[in-house]
A and B are shown apart, each in its own frame.
Chain A
Amino acid sequence: MIDRATAPSPTAPRPYHFPKITRTTLPNGLRVLVAENRNAPIAALRTLVKSGADHDDAEHAGLASIVADLLDEGAANRDAIRLAEDTGLLGGSLATGADWDASYISVDVLSRNVQPSVEILADVSFRATLPPDGLDRVRSERLMEILQQRDEPAAIAGKRFAGLLYGTGAYGNSVIGNADSVARITLDDVRRFYDAHYLPNASSVVISGDVDSARAAELAAQMFANWKKAEEPPRPVVSPQSIPESRVYLIDRPQAVQSEIRVGHVGVARSSEDYFAITVMNSILGGVFNSRINLNLRERHGYTYGARSTFAFRRAQGPFVVSAPVRNEVTRESVSEVLAELRRIRTGDVETHELEDTKNYLMGVFPATVQSASDIASRLLDMELYGLPEDYFDRYRENIAAIEKDDIARVAQKYVDPDRALIVIVGNAGQIREPLGTLGLPLHEIDIEGNLVTA
């Protein structure tokens, strides 16, 4: 009979190696990275342009993502429909988009059709036609999307949290913009952004999957050779608001049956020297299912389907935020529990098994997250965007392994501050206003646009 009382021991671990990366830089400054992976007959092709919504000024919030949305409205001699048809005939799908730090073009395609697909990727990267009727269509769809978000509690909470934290500067507006800014964007704005930011010397092309490295690199070199280099735009400045003391902002949503809670403040940039220590600390705090915040709010109290904490490691300092949707009746208790967990992680009260479990998770889970061509491409894009060293993935384990208990307390004290936190809650004010008042924190009511509501 087998012993069921104790967990079986592991056998000897099998080695894991991240795929070999072939790197080249073209004369125009474009960096090309290729990694082979033969799990399936598909390839992931990507262009990364290292400018995103962080470059949008408040008047033109949403510009970077409008430009990205316009890329597949026409490129070289193909219009929007032809692009979709031709990509589909190759067994591919074309997608474009922008986030805070960068803009992306991606083609996932059957590997037997890589060559013509790289041509499409190149066309969309630097021969986009940006047609006027395309802007009209994209703008109209964008305005509808902004309208729809007025009913989405998580979107409202995220927008207001960012706005209160970063004001009208970078990271403070929504990536997709607002109704006024999107209405204001002209075709000139779009073309100016495309010309100024979509530069080979500020971009990388990544190809991964069922391809031959040398051939793929050569193909990219050929297809992207005519992309003209120019001077890179200066990096935007991110200036977070200072929060002298914790305070609550309540946004009324009368029909709400849950409160969307956000608690946090400014975090750190991806380049932080404490990146690994913060990653381990946050995984203990709220970064994974078995972390403290989720075990507390979900598994101990049954307040929520899921709660978590996140450090948004961006090129400049992104936010640190705890998010939890909880039922109306336990809104105040949930905020208290979150603040208590933030205090506790700062005390250095970390069990050895808690630290070891978390480190083992972070070290062990990596291979499971890079199985597909698309997963691998994402990792290469991260390396490019954040300037990670070439041996980054090989040294990841030892960097995590080096984190000790003292580091957890140190980075928690330095980067987590429950006494200077923004607490944003989208919920049924009639039901939760009074209990929230007993938190002993200043409470302001604002509308979904962020304007103060006076009684």
Chain B
Amino acid sequence: MLALESYELSNGLRVVLNEDHSAPLVSINLWYHVGSKNERPGRTGFAHLFEHMLFSGSKHVGNNEHFRYVQSVGGVLNGTTFFDRTNYFEMLPSNYLALGLWLESDRMGFFLPALTQEKLDIQREVVKEERRQRYDNVPYGTAFERLLHLAYDPDYSYHWPTIGSMEDLQAASLDDIRQFFATWYRPDNCVLTLCGDFVPSEAKDLIAQYFGDIAPGGDFPQFDLERKPLGGERRETFETPVQLPRVYRLYHLPKMGSADWIHADLLTTVLAGDKASRFERALVHEKQIAQDVAAYILPTESTGILLMQATAKDGVSIDVVERAMDEEIDRLANGGVTDDELTRAKNRAEVEYAHQIENYDSRADLIGMLATYFGDANIVHTWLEPYAATTNENLRDVATKYLTADNRATSLFIPVNA
């Protein structure tokens, strides 16, 4: 059982401590409850651009010095942005805990004085290169973006990907960045998790010293995150320079953590978790019509997402692949799964959880997520219980209820010369 202690500072900063002395390391992890869902159309890509800016120095930490301070003592660090949150983390030799807290508190409390147009211009270019490298210059790179555009109405917060559009990135001004920071980057919108080799009483003192005097902010802007039903399948065919046709599907689910979401998580393992899974076995192994298949759900807070994709082999029509997928889904919805399939899926969930717990950094991230999305870090102790309790009936029900044509968006990537 993990040793967990949760508390809150008077400025609203929530803290979770997980003391564990197995290695002389400490992981410092901050979840800011802000992501691309807090952007508005025409102003997309801000949360992620902002993540880059937070590495470019604060009042007492020079440009690029954040990286240098951490790396020069043997630490590792990064940050990531997603729909619902932005996380920043470093893992340090445990005797440098104070250094990490100093760095993180400086950019939480004293970021604006160090912000300059020049830094913004450089990071804007870096992010545009990131977009080119990961989206625009690689085959299938824009698939997720296209799927989101199809699956959500233009004013819904998941309509755009975290990277944002080139136009919006170009338009981001210093004032936009300032306002974004002031609105969202504050102690009362953050969970700080420490995991590893520290003495809790000493850590608490340091946290109070470094974070205690950072002021909370005013009211948070409200977003309507109630998703409207699709009213039928949304579907597109996109001709593009790729060699093999590929189908992408997004099925809507309830929020992360709900019973149906957990059942759907297990269901995706039955569909595509290993070589003996339904899709792999039928499409790749036996019929050999697909090059690869995948099915998985995303850890999203506002609404649930189940993704599927399959690549047709050269000379095979993507329609044939889609039909074979649908046959397998129907078979599942009608006949359910075997006991062995359910056991394998539960085992997979158990192993994935164990892998997250194994490392301080991924463990701190999991704890931070649970505290941020569900308001309770202790869920880490019981996370697997609903998985263990899932029945064959549950899987049939989610297949029947959610894996239907009118609950999905479909994007077909077709070779341009085909």
Contact = CB atoms under 8 A, between A and B. Distances in A.
Interface in B238-262: 241-244
B225 interface: no
A27 interface: no
B360 A371 contact: yes
Interface string B1-26: 00000000000000000000011110
B64 interface: yes
Nearest to A137: B288
B358 A303 contact: no
Interface string B324-360: 0000000000000000100110011011001101111
Contacts of A145: 291
A40 B361 CA distance: 14
B343 A325 contact: no
A251 interface: no
Interface string B88-131: 00010111111100100110001000000000011111111110
B73 interface: yes
B276 A88 contact: yes
B313 interface: yes
A89 B344 CA distance: 5
Contacts of A1: 213
B179 interface: no
Q: Which of A16, A82, A366 is the most central at the interface, judged by chain B CB atoms within 10 Å of its CB?
A: A16
Interface string A13-32: 11110000000000000000
A230 interface: no
A41 B354 contact: yes
B139 A4 contact: no
Contact of A39 (B59, B110, B359): B359
B74 interface: yes
Interface in B26-67: 59-60, 63-64, 67
Given A365-B76, A372-B358, A151 B242 contact: yes
B137 A289 contact: no
Contact of B350 (A15, A110, A298, A327): A110
Given A91-B351, A361-B71, A14 B24 contact: yes
Contacts of A6: 60
Interface stretch (A119-127, A233-241, A253-261, A342-350): A253-261
B132 A84 contact: no
Contacts of B96: 10
A184 interface: no
A298 B126 contact: yes
Interface residues of B, number: 80
B314 interface: yes
A337 interface: no
Contacts of A144: 243-244, 291, 311, 313-314
Given A90-B347, A255-B241, A360-B72, A147 B314 contact: yes
Given A40-B355, A140-B313, A357-B68, A258 B350 contact: no
A89 B341 CA distance: 8
Q: Which of B60, B126, B242, B360 is the most central at the interface, judged by chain A CB atoms within 10 Å of its CB?
A: B126
Interface in A344-373: 356-358, 360-369, 371-373
A391 B93 CA distance: 22
A288 B77 CA distance: 12
Given A13-B95, A110-B347, A372-B359, A257 B137 contact: yes
Given A153-B138, A366-B74, A373-B358, A327 B129 contact: yes
Contact of A327 (B98, B128, B242, B285): B128
Nearest to B351: A91
A150 B243 contact: yes
A332 to B, nearest CB: 16
B139 A151 contact: yes
A93 interface: yes
B57 to A, nearest CB: 11
A144 B132 CA distance: 25
A88 B347 contact: yes
A2 B60 CA distance: 13
B197 interface: yes
A360 B73 contact: yes
A439 interface: no
Given A8-B102, A304-B129, A88 B273 contact: yes
A225 B59 CA distance: 64
A455 interface: no
Contacts of B69: 7
Nearest to B119: A299
B376 interface: no
A326 B129 contact: yes
Nearest to A325: B133
A72 B91 CA distance: 37
Contacts of A299: 63-64, 122, 126
B95 A10 contact: yes
A272 interface: no
Contacts of B197: 14
B393 interface: no
A93 B64 CA distance: 40
A61 to B, nearest CB: 20
Contacts of B60: 4-6
Interface of B: 22-25, 59-60, 63-64, 67-69, 71-76, 91, 93-99, 102, 105-106, 110, 121-130, 132-134, 136-139, 197, 209-210, 213, 241-244, 273-276, 281, 284-285, 288, 291, 311, 313-314, 340, 343-344, 347-348, 350-351, 354-355, 357-361
20 contacts: A10-B98, A11-B98, A72-B275, A84-B275, A85-B340, A88-B273, A89-B340, A91-B347, A110-B350, A110-B351, A147-B244, A255-B241, A257-B132, A257-B136, A257-B137, A258-B129, A299-B63, A361-B73, A365-B74, A368-B25
Interface of A: 1-2, 4-16, 38-42, 72, 80-85, 87-93, 108-110, 137, 140-141, 143-145, 147-148, 150-153, 255-258, 288-290, 295, 298-305, 325-327, 356-358, 360-369, 371-373
Given A256-B137, A257-B136, A289-B71, 8 more contacts: A2-B210, A137-B288, A141-B291, A148-B244, A151-B138, A258-B137, A299-B126, A372-B355
Nearest 4 pairs of A and B residues by beta carbon = A364-B74, A302-B125, A88-B344, A14-B24
